[in-house]
Amino acid sequence: MSANNAFHIAVLAGDGIGPEVMAPALEVLRKVGAKSGLGFRFTEAPAGANNYLATGKSMPDTTIKLCEEADAILLGACGLPSVRYPDNTEIAPQIELRFIFDLYAGVRPARLIPGVPSPIVGADKRGIDLVVIRESTEGLFASMGKGVVTHEDARETMVITRKTSERLFEFSFRLAERRKARGKPGMLTCVDKANVFKAFAFFRGIFDEIEKKHPGVKSDRLYVDACSAMLVKRPWDFDVMVMENMFGDIVSDITASLIGGLGMAPSADIGDKYAVFQPCHGTAPDIMGQGKANPTGMILSAAMMLDWLAEKHGVESAAEAGQTIERAVDQVYAGGIKPMEFGGSNGTADITKAVLGAL
């Protein structure tokens, strides 16, 4: 925490609708901060496809330095479909930051908010409240930029290490314990493909070892295909799930779809020292500048940031502020706010005004 007793937040607004949803999140943080006695100092810095077009780099060194010095990092959506590296991969500072700061735990909550439609029959009555934890620095993504392509074939290598897996599972069990203390089931499911690949059998074996240290958490193991089928039938049976990077990339989009789509979904990438908070949605250049963007995912990512800062610095009022934001979001959706992706007429300004009013 900064010397002036304010949290220093690095703000990387990104591309497309990134800046449009970042502004409401900062407004919400300022208002909840004023009500709860929290101070914030926001420092904005460039990152993303537009910066790459201008400079040839996704992020300048000054942005990385800022992220290193800040208490937390707020990141808007980054990348544009039309802007690519020479190897045709997208500009993705969000992925690069995971490797730079060793952010091994990708946390993707999926909670169905009152009044938000779900494609799952019965979800409005049973509820959905789960968390996908996606390992974020290795797995198949360890091969990013290193794959070998010839005329005859293409090869990418999946990497799973004991060190990262142990940290990931410890993090996951602790999260399940915290959720149990807050009245949630406190159950952790390891999702893998251990029946086919040795790497996933290794992954599951480490899970079994760490499980013994956390007897208060009920644990389970599922193959990723069975897990995916169960998620679209009975998502309310899940609490916390932990999995390899690529599986988490896919499964977290499934779970976001269960709660109204990516516009409603917050996320965090967390390491031992640093953390990045970002909505799950993309830059949506097709609606950029039209006031249609849904800022909910970004606002809820800011709430996640407050909860992480509370735990890291022992500032309980930050956790309470995060819960206040979540309750405000619940209130406005239960009250009839309907974003345009749900066929409604409420755009960025309407949703922002409603949440600020509810605070």
Tell whether the model's pLDDT for residue 5 goes beyond 80: no
Instruction: Find, among 168, 173, 167, 172, the residue nearest to 213 by Cα.
Output: 173
Integer Cα distance of 174 and 282 in angstroms: 30
CATH number of 118-259: 3.40.718.10
Tens digits of residue pLDDT in 196-219: 999 999 999 999 999 999 999 999
Helix orientation angle between 61-69 and 93-100, rounded to the nearest 10 degrees: 60
CATH number of 1-103+266-358: 3.40.718.10
pLDDT confidence bin for 9, thresholds 50/70/90 = very high
Query: Which value, to the nearest 10 degrees, does the dihedral of the CA atoms of residues 264, 249, 109, 106 take?
Result: -120
User: Mean pLDDT in the chain?
Assistant: 95
pLDDT (0 to 100) of residue 3? 43
Average pLDDT for residues 257-266, to the nearest whole number? 95
Tell whether the model's pLDDT for residue 2 goes beyond 60: no
Q: Say which residue, 144 or 300, is predicted with more confidence.
A: 300
Average pLDDT for residues 215-226, to the nearest whole number? 97
Judged by average pLDDT, the poorest of 91-100, 103-112, 213-222, 243-252 is 91-100
Tens digits of residue pLDDT in 94-103: 999 999 999 9
Q: Give me the residue spans of the domains in the chain.
A: 1-103+266-358, 118-259
pTM of the model: 0.93
Assign 3-state DSSP to the chain and report helix, strand, coil percentages, each to 5.
45, 15, 35
